[in-house]
């Protein structure tokens, strides 16, 4: 009798285990089926979109030649033209183009500036790119930093940043052989009781600091000029707003 009871219990236990295993297998198959049915393409697209709008674009490539400004807009397609200026930059009597780009969605990111030199056949070649010469248009608090103008006059690229009567930067770049070099820069800054004007002159190899006391009615000023080492501050590596901070050669 004990043997029969034991035999019946053994069969019952085996059936129970088999039933549990079957449920687990079915459940696992259902889970796998759901995972496999997710639209992988859509997920990948969402990740790429987040990466392209959360910070500086990666792997930006620019065409080297073209017939118009639009031909030089890079991939990925995240930039649009903000400013442009035309004139002869490299003294070959052909009109060249300077272009400032801005991100289409995020105005706090870097703004690349391109120099397009015209060829004899009226096409253009991309000669210079600077990601830092122009500051971001807006800061993190959504405040527009400067009113800006660019122009090409007398074979000079001129960039003017105006942030108020006591906060402005004017600069010029000129070609020296194949390099586009900072030729002159003047920065104005003001605080409580004074205005400071700092000027850099590449050709004269000198820098001048002028301070004006605005607390007195006649606003007296003092000025000091001293020689500086004649070095090339090239367009690609010069951040105008950081020049006097000793941090202009950043990338």
Q: Where do the domains of the chain lie?
A: 2-38, 51-245
Q: Are 52 and 76 in contact (CB under 8 A)?
A: yes
Six-digit token pair at 20? 């549990």
Write out the two tokens for 111: 């703004």
- Residues 38-49 have pLDDT tens digits of 333 343 333 343
According to the model, what pLDDT value does residue 246 have?
61
Residues 135-161 have pLDDT tens digits of: 999 998 999 999 999 999 999 999 999
Question: Tokens standing for 63?
Answer: 């065409």
Instruction: Flag whether pLDDT at 17 surpasses 90.
Output: no
Predicted TM-score (pTM) of the model is 0.75
Residue 138 · residue 107 · CB < 8 Å: yes
Measure the CA–CA gap between 172 and 158, rounded to whole angstroms: 5
What is the Cα–Cα distance from 103 to 24, expressed in whole angstroms? Answer: 52
Q: What pLDDT was estimated at residue 21? A: 46
Buried b (16+ CB within 10 A) or exposed e, 207-231: beebebeeeeeeeeeeeeeeeeeee
Q: State the Cα–Cα distance between residues 138 and 163, nearest whole angstrom.
A: 12
**pLDDT over threshold 70, residue 74:** yes
């Amino acid at each position: 009798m004990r043997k029969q009871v034991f035999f019946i219990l053994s069969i019952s236990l085996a059936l129970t285990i088999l039933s549990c295993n079957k449920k687990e297998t079915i459940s696992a198959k259902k889970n796998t089926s759901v995972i496999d049915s997710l639209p992988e393409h859509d997920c990948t697209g969402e990740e790429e979109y987040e990466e392209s709008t959360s910070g500086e674009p990666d792997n930006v490539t620019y065409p080297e030649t073209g017939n118009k400004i639009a031909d030089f807009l890079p991939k990925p397609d995240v930039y649009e033209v903000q400013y442009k200026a035309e004139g002869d930059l490299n003294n070959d009597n052909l009109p060249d183009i300077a272009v400032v780009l801005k991100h289409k969605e995020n105005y706090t990111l870097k703004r690349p500036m391109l120099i397009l030199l015209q060829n004899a056949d009226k096409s253009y070649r991309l000669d210079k790119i600077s990601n830092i010469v122009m500051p971001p248009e807006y800061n993190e608090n959504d405040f527009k930093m400067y009113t800006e103008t660019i122009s090409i006059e007398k074979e000079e690229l001129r960039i003017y940043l105006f942030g108020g009567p006591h906060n402005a930067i004017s600069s010029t770049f000129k070609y020296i052989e194949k390099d586009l070099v900072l030729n002159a820069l003047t920065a104005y800054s003001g605080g409580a009781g004074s205005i400071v004007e700092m000027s850099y002159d590449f050709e004269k190899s000198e820098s001048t600091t002028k301070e004006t006391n605005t607390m007195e009615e006649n606003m007296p000023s003092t000025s000091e000029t001293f020689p500086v080492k004649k070095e090339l501050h090239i367009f690609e590596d010069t951040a105008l707003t950081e020049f006097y901070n000793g941090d202009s050669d950043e990338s």
